[in-house]
Structure 1
Amino acid sequence: MPDDGGPRPFRTEITDGMRIEWDVPIEMDDGTVLRADVFRPVTAGPAPVIMTYGPYAKGLPFSRGYPSAWEAMARDHPDTVAGTSNRYQNWEVVDPEKWVPHGYACVRVDSRGTGRSPGRVDPFSPRETRDFHDCIEWAGTRDWSNGRVGLNGISYYAMNQWQVASLRPPHLYAICPWEGAADFYRDGSHQGGIRSTFWDNWYDMQVKTVQYGIGEAGGRNPSTGQLICGDDLLTPAELAANRTDLGADIAAHTFDDRYHRDRSAHWDAIDIPVLSCGNWGGQGLHLRGNVEGYLRAASPHKWLEMHGHAHWPLFYTDYGVALQRRFFDRYLKDEPNGWEDRPPVQLQIRHVDATFTPRGESAWPLPATRWTRLHLHTGRMLAAPEPATAGTAQFAALGDGLEFTTGPLPEQAEITGPLAAKLFISSTTTDADLFLVVRVYAPDGEEVVFQGALDPHTPVAQGWLRASHRRLDPDLSTPYRPYHPHDGAEPLQPGTVYELDIEILPTCLVIPAGYRIALQVRGRDYVHPGPAARLSNLKNDLTGCGPFLHNDDLDRPAGTYDGHTTVHTGAPHASYLLLPVIPAP
């Protein structure tokens, strides 16, 4: 019989300088009992709480569940694994051995239907968000808690911070969403209105593999000997009945409707302190939401931090832990540590050799920005002057498209901030998908790419738009950040020219003199010409866009998306790329 979630004794031990309570029950409002591990100081007295709630199984060690990511992190960032036994290192959550000695309690909750928590799996759903709210309130009212709960984690554990903060749990005092989407439609499931297949593959690889009830297939927690995925063995039919079909759910909601809004932040309700940390190379999922969150959250106390490197390591480095801890020391402990004196925008300025220079700024976009238009010209040139004569260039609508390139830059240029493009296009069919890639080339013709959040060959910037979703929201749009409501489709009349304003996600790069900037207008995902890479937790090879691909044939059916797209240039159809150029100091 399936576990009814009823109370069972939980094990307590003192080890590695911590008091650990394994598999603590937390009852939800519908009677379902979720399970949590609690790591807290041995000494008496209340402590502030760092909490995570999510589907990756609290008993699954990082090194076992994500071996290629673990090996890369330990190799490239040795400080992430120093000063700790690494016994409690889990995927995308804090290492308690780096927090408990500083007076924090760390609570990890298995979300409903995953790990050791029974129930039905429905990622990011209102049910999950209510569970998270109730777990926060549980932690904030324990006798070992000081009543202040902070949320800190990567990706999934960042995304649901925005959601639950929107419910305003009374004991939630601060959040640090590290590289996580906030708008489930625009940031996650439909970039530019084009469906991403990431969630289908992610669900198979990282959630179904730790669903409650899979028995020994989920392995055992090396610290407790418990089955990681609960003590019951469910049949395949029972497992399938206990989880939603996430890919089908997303495919059934092609527009930004209530399904997506229920899984997104509600900005006006987020009024607690926020430290939002994004990744310049996180174009598919781990960038836009952090910038939007900083700009749109109602909190008067908010900071934006932007960095590079791979998705997970920086969070665990001395740099990341010190940044997070100083923020939480201020708002969970009331320590007067001068946090508020920091610039509200803290950037790691990226260079072509993949090094970074830290710099503080007073606002986003940067106040010194010189918004610069580079017009598309016949001959595939990209240049500041508007073309004197009109021109056209056509490409196969599902192909690699066209590339417009500047000449060698006469002097160094810094590009930091949001980008956009205005394109005038026509199509031989009733719709067209536009994939924009901002590329930079060295004098020898080699493309400058970076270790992105997941893909080691990530281009400088990307943007997307389905032409039938071209209508703008006039209240939320700016010239440098077009905002589309995505609430319906307006098909194209074949051969008619349409004006498209396309959001290109923020970037940062200091480009030396002699390098060239290019805008590629494509009909499909970017592919880096070099060798592919792999990560053990991902289904597809990494060929430039990581796992964030737009390759659902049902979303892009033949007859609508396989025609030809024409880009129009020059008056009266002056297409251009808008760049945020930062003057030299």
Structure 2
Amino acid sequence: MKFPALALCFAILISATAQAQAPLALPTTAVNATVNETTKVTMRDGVELALEIFRAEDMQPRSTLYASGPLPLGDYRDAPNLPHTGPVAWWLDQGFNVVIAATRGTGDSGGEFDFMGREEQQDHYEVIEWIAAQPWSDQQVAGLGADYYGSSQWFMAIQNPPHLSCIAPVTAVLDPYSDWAWHQGLSNPGFLQWYEQELRQAWAYPANGASRYVDFDLQRQLLEHRVRDAWWQIRSAASYLDSVETAVFQVGSWRHTDALWTNNLARLDSLPTPAFTWVGSSATPLQNQDFLEQELLPWYQWCFAGKPRSGPALQPALRYQVVNSARNRASSGWPPANIKYTPLFASLGNNAGNEGLLLPEPDNGGRNRSVLQSSASTVESDAMDSRTVLLRSEALETAVDLAGPLLVQFHVSAASADTAFEVELYEEILQVRMPAGGPVLPDLFNPELPESAATQVSTRLELISSGSFKASQRSIIEAPGVTAVHNESGAAAQLTPGRINRFDLALAPRAWQLRAGSRLVLTVRQADDPALQHMERNDTLYHSHQYPTQLWLPLSADSRLLFRLPEPAVPALDPRTDELFNSNNPLILLPSAASVPPVEQREAGTDQNVP
């Protein structure tokens, strides 16, 4: 009888959540009295780079935001508003110039594309100094951009051009080898797909201008450089951070599609001074008006005002939002202090499949292992049953705040000398929508909702975090809370078939509020990898007291992990009682719905009395 109230609560909750997560509209102010011009600047080796310049028509000297990357500007050529550039028209309204460079070998720029190669890095120095010499420039330049354009800013800072005032890399990586291409020894097909579709194909069929065929063969480079070598070393900004002398404001997002920018959190101690980090919950920070106005604009204003001992200079080194919460928190480092690592244990019970529970205490009953199998003939429809273990917790009694690295610890014996796994952690949220015709009440003696109402109840999964690794390239983590360290040598450490190995997989860190009533869902799955595609993979995961599977959660100091008790099974009626109620006995008078008070108004146990 609590279903109507429950549905109303969930409807209100879902409505409020939808409002809180609705994207904020960016200003659509018309760009008046501004100039958009395309020019080319000659580099030291004679290559000409194409620049898109957006500035005020009055030619008054202004500070300039400089972005550089390989992607086309699409249909926004007059005033781009893209996830990797932000709203150019809005930046102009704030009093800045904006210059966007097409890296060599892309667009109208000359030369050959070389994916963050040495020549591309050195181009930033010359473009910044060229901007500073223009009559519309006040000789102050700052970096702008996200993703590839954000990583380019690190190379701007490493070159240390005299007129670079500061950088603000957004969701940018410092080490493309481990953060984009080869995470924990596993190839990242999404990285190659991004290059082929968003870069090569986009330039072959541009929305504006002539076609450009980018010749750089990224797939061959990935095959030739499968380990960290000199080719990757040149493209790793993390190797040269000690050369950075300018102020840094790096920006991340807990919801960004490329979770591996979070490796930067493990490198906070390596950043130059002053350096500040902000992590928000918007998937595309440069499209979020609150972030632009409250964080990025004040940073640039402070930077161009001479970096006084005020404003951003007085902020903590790390500030972050908590997803699903209005809380903003600050810390002197990562992970935050006073977090409590709390484990959940896998239990398969006596189920025949690979589905089980996440429990707060070890469960020594039921099956203590699950087998994952795949081969070259495995098809996608078989993947769930044969390649995946799915674990689900009970519903949370109260909201829980997580902040820090997440860790999955599991034990595996493999039939082959190598294998690979990917792990995903979700929050499962119950959604209850009221039927179009109004509330539908369950039948008095039937605890289940009618079919018309039951169709309105569903669940939604939100990805919290994920991680993957290849066993032969594994890294050993001694305790929860330690971020994974990559196998720098690149040497393979083959498994001994049949031997039980403990793997500690660090998922991407998060600051996340688990909502009351939601459940945690953990999947452990055999990962795909070209080097393993011809193997008959037969992996056994153990869930015993001696070899447990555990999920370690970094709880904030003021959070406790409490679960609701599972709904008790309804006992079957005694046959004689069942016959009594189901017969046409004139002595049994069933009460009408109107004569039964709401559950909340009845005393405990009174609804069990039979008249």
Matches for 1:65-214 after TM superposition, within 5 Å: 87-90=79-82, 92-211=84-203
Q: 2:40 aligns with which of 4, 25, 40?
A: 25
Partners of 1:285 and 1:119 in 2: CA distance: 32
Instruction: Tell me by how many angstroms 1:415 deviates.
Output: 1.6
Deviations 1:428-459 (A, max 9, x none): 11111111111222468965434xxxxxxxx1
Deviations 1:384-443 (A, max 9, x none): 445669932222257441123333334321122221222221111111111111122246
Query: What secondary structure sits across from 2:321 in the alignment?
Result: strand
Given the alignment of the two structures, is residue 568 of structure 1 paired with residue 542 of structure 2, yes or no? yes
Contact 2:341 2:480 in 1 (8 A): no
Contact 1:18 1:39 in 2 (8 A): no
Q: 2:485 aligns with which of 469, 483, 486?
A: 483
Matches for 1:396-435 after TM superposition, within 5 Å: 396-397=373-374, 399-400=383-384, 401-435=388-422
Instruction: Tell me by how many angstroms 1:245 deviates.
Output: 0.7
Contact 1:61 1:91 in 2 (8 A): no
Query: What secondary structure sits across from 1:52 in the alignment?
Result: strand
Question: Aligned pair in 2 of structure 1 residues 416, 479: CA closer, same or farther (>3 Å)?
Answer: closer
Instruction: Tell me by how many angstroms 1:268 deviates.
Output: 2.9
Given the alignment of the two structures, is residue 61 of structure 1 paired with residue 75 of structure 2, yes or no? yes
Question: Aligned pair in 2 of structure 1 residues 100, 299: CA closer, same or farther (>3 Å)?
Answer: same
Question: Aligned pair in 2 of structure 1 residues 193, 296: CA closer, same or farther (>3 Å)?
Answer: farther
- 1:278 aligned partner: 252
Deviations 1:195-224 (A, max 9, x none): 11123322222222454xx6xx5354xxxx
Question: Aligned pair in 2 of structure 1 residues 283, 96: CA closer, same or farther (>3 Å)?
Answer: closer
Instruction: Tell me by how many angstroms 1:325 deviates.
Output: 1.2
- 1:467 aligned partner: 471
- 1:360 aligned partner: 329
- 2:444 aligned partner: none
Contact 1:188 1:285 in 2 (8 A): no
Contact 2:428 2:461 in 1 (8 A): no
- 2:345 aligned partner: 375
Tell me the matched-pair count: 483
Partners of 1:335 and 1:99 in 2: CA distance: 20
Instruction: Tell me by how many angstroms 1:139 deviates.
Output: 2.2
Partners of 2:94 and 2:370 in 1: CA distance: 61
Deviations 1:480-530 (A, max 9, x none): 312122512111111111122212002233223343223211114xxxxxx
Partners of 2:180 and 2:549 in 1: CA distance: 28
Instruction: Tell me by how many angstroms 1:327 deviates.
Output: 0.4
Contact 1:448 1:460 in 2 (8 A): no
Question: Aligned pair in 2 of structure 1 residues 270, 392: CA closer, same or farther (>3 Å)?
Answer: farther
Contact 1:184 1:261 in 2 (8 A): no
Contact 1:154 1:179 in 2 (8 A): yes
Structure 2: where are the runs of 5+ without partners? Answer: 1-29, 350-355, 376-382, 432-456, 560-611
Identity %: 21
The TM-score, its normalising length taken from structure 2, stands at 0.72
Contact 2:67 2:149 in 1 (8 A): yes
Question: Aligned pair in 2 of structure 1 residues 283, 29: CA closer, same or farther (>3 Å)?
Answer: same
Contact 2:404 2:511 in 1 (8 A): yes
Deviations 1:272-315 (A, max 9, x none): 3222222212253564255345x244222222222234436x53
Query: What secondary structure sits across from 2:159 in the alignment?
Result: coil
Partners of 1:292 and 1:108 in 2: CA distance: 30
Query: What secondary structure sits across from 1:517 in the alignment?
Result: strand
The TM-score, its normalising length taken from structure 1, stands at 0.74
Query: What secondary structure sits across from 1:113 in the alignment?
Result: coil
Structure 1 window deviating more from structure 2 (435-444 vs 186-195): it is 435-444
Question: Aligned pair in 2 of structure 1 residues 478, 484: CA closer, same or farther (>3 Å)?
Answer: farther
What amino acid is the match of 1:299? P
Contact 1:397 1:433 in 2 (8 A): no
What amino acid is the match of 2:272? S
Question: Aligned pair in 2 of structure 1 residues 278, 485: CA closer, same or farther (>3 Å)?
Answer: same
Q: 2:206 aligns with which of 173, 194, 218?
A: 218
Question: Aligned pair in 2 of structure 1 residues 309, 102: CA closer, same or farther (>3 Å)?
Answer: closer
Given the alignment of the two structures, is residue 243 of structure 1 paired with residue 215 of structure 2, yes or no? yes
Partners of 2:257 and 2:485 in 1: CA distance: 17
Query: What secondary structure sits across from 1:115 in the alignment?
Result: coil
Contact 1:305 1:345 in 2 (8 A): yes
Query: What secondary structure sits across from 1:103 in the alignment?
Result: coil
- 2:532 aligned partner: 556
Query: What secondary structure sits across from 1:261 in the alignment?
Result: helix
What amino acid is the match of 2:408? A
Partners of 2:256 and 2:80 in 1: CA distance: 26
Contact 1:162 1:177 in 2 (8 A): yes
Question: Aligned pair in 2 of structure 1 residues 382, 397: CA closer, same or farther (>3 Å)?
Answer: farther
Instruction: Tell me by how many angstroms 1:104 deviates.
Output: 1.9
Contact 2:83 2:287 in 1 (8 A): no
Instruction: Tell me by how many angstroms 1:329 deviates.
Output: 0.8
Query: What secondary structure sits across from 1:405 in the alignment?
Result: strand
Query: What secondary structure sits across from 1:166 in the alignment?
Result: helix
Instruction: Tell me by how many angstroms 1:44 deviates.
Output: 5.3
- 1:334 aligned partner: 306
Partners of 1:130 and 1:378 in 2: CA distance: 56
- 2:557 aligned partner: 583
Query: What secondary structure sits across from 2:168 in the alignment?
Result: strand
Q: 2:296 aligns with which of 316, 324, 327?
A: 324
Instruction: Tell me by how many angstroms 1:142 deviates.
Output: 3.6
Question: Aligned pair in 2 of structure 1 residues 512, 100: CA closer, same or farther (>3 Å)?
Answer: closer
Partners of 1:183 and 1:198 in 2: CA distance: 16
Structure 1: where are the runs of 5+ without partners? Answer: 1-14, 65-85, 221-226, 451-458, 525-550
Contact 1:461 1:507 in 2 (8 A): yes
Partners of 1:116 and 1:321 in 2: CA distance: 33
Query: What secondary structure sits across from 1:414 in the alignment?
Result: strand
- 2:369 aligned partner: 392
Question: Aligned pair in 2 of structure 1 residues 96, 283: CA closer, same or farther (>3 Å)?
Answer: closer
- 1:38 aligned partner: 53
Question: Aligned pair in 2 of structure 1 residues 515, 16: CA closer, same or farther (>3 Å)?
Answer: closer
What amino acid is the match of 2:306? D
